[in-house]
Each structure stands twice: as structure tokens, then as C-alpha cells.
């Protein structure tokens, strides 16, 4: 049984679904566009490859400008700033319920400067032992067909939409 709220009491606010924002960076290549993806860091992901790579993204701060948040997250996960003409793609709702916002931008980045923020992780779980691990341990460009295999299924729509836009000439 749920107790009734007292008159004048503040109503509980509905839980806001988490929103992440990120950038889908691409570069032109003779065989077609290549897309930059990142691989999650930490021991759990070490031997996993297909279906786990992601666009560099993260949670937005309350009230943060969405594109600025996406750019901030890119720097946190890749360690490189990106500039260019940002084209907003259609947001995707993930199986978890989270919404991911994404901007497409062309940039041929030198990934030798790649470095990612770190976080503490208890590993193995419930062991009491803490490791400091990178949010992302690798970043690389992939042809579209390879990117679609490597990416999290819930984010593949970003590459598919980017290919449509690039094929239509809608993105410089």
C-alpha cells in the first residue's frame, strides 16, 4: 500500500532517464568513410571486441549544452579536441532506456595522442581490490561495414544515418 502525500507536500519527481551525448567522427577514405570508435577499458572488456565498441560519449551534466557536453565527453574519452561542422543525428534510445544524442563531424585525427580518463573499479567483483582503469583503452577508425560489426547494437543507427547523409551529400 502506498501512503497518500500530505496536503502541500512536494510531489516526487518522475525519474529522468539518463541522457548521454557523443560525437561520431568520420574521415574520408578512398574505400569510403571511416568512423572513429572507442573500446571500453577494464578487465571485463579486455577480450571482447565485436558488439562492444562505441562512439565516444558520456552522461550530460544537469543543464549542460548538449553539443558542448558531447565535445567534453570526447576529450575525456579520447584526449583530443575536435572542431568542424557538427551535424546532429537522430537520437537513439538504448535497450537500457538511456537516450544517446550524437553529432557527426569530419576530422582526420592523429590517434597517437589518444588517452582516456580513468576510474576506480573493484576487480574481481566483491574482492575488495580496486584497480584504476581507463574509460576507453583503444580508439580507431573503421570502415562502415567493420564499424557496424564492432559497435554496440543500440548505436549502429548513427553510422547508418551518417552513411545516408554522406551518400546524399548532406554532410560536407
Determine the 3-state secondary structure of 73 from DSSP: helix
For the chain, give every domain's residue range: 19-168
Q: What is the pLDDT of the chain when averaged over all its residues?
A: 89
10 Å Cβ neighbour count for 23? 26
Task: Please determine, for residue 5, whether its predicted confidence score (pLDDT) is greater than 60.
Answer: no
**Number of Cα atoms under 13 Å in the Cβ half of residue 128:** 0
- Which pTM was predicted? 0.86
Angstrom CA distances, 80 to 29, 65, 83, 161, stand at 21, 19, 10, 24
pLDDT digit string (tens) for 70-79?
999 999 999 9
Which stretches does DSSP call E strand in the chain? 19-27, 34-40, 57-59, 87-88, 92-93, 99-106, 118-122, 130-134, 136-143
User: What top-level class would CATH report for the domain 19-168?
Assistant: alpha beta
Q: Which of 19-23, 60-64, 147-151 is the least confident region?
A: 60-64
Amino acid at each position: 500500500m502506498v501512503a497518500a502525500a500530505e496536503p502541500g507536500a512536494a510531489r516526487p519527481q518522475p525519474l529522468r532517464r539518463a541522457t548521454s551525448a557523443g560525437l561520431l567522427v568520420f574521415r574520408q577514405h578512398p574505400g569510403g568513410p571511416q568512423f572513429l570508435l572507442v573500446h571500453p577499458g577494464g578487465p571485463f572488456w579486455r577480450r571482447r571486441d565485436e558488439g562492444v565498441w562505441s562512439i565516444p560519449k558520456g552522461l550530460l551534466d544537469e543543464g549542460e549544452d548538449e553539443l558542448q557536453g558531447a565535445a567534453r565527453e570526447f576529450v575525456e574519452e579520447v584526449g583530443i579536441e575536435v572542431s568542424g561542422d557538427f551535424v546532429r543525428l537522430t537520437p537513439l534510445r538504448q535497450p537500457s532506456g538511456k537516450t544517446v544524442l550524437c553529432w557527426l563531424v569530419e576530422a582526420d585525427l592523429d590517434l597517437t595522442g589518444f588517452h582516456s580518463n580513468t576510474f576506480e573499479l573493484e576487480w574481481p567483483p566483491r574482492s575488495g581490490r580496486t584497480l584504476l582503469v581507463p574509460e576507453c583503452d583503444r580508439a580507431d577508425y573503421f570502415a562502415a561495414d567493420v564499424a557496424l560489426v564492432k559497435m554496440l547494437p543500440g548505436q549502429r543507427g548513427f553510422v547508418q544515418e551518417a552513411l545516408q547523409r554522406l551518400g546524399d551529400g548532406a554532410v560536407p
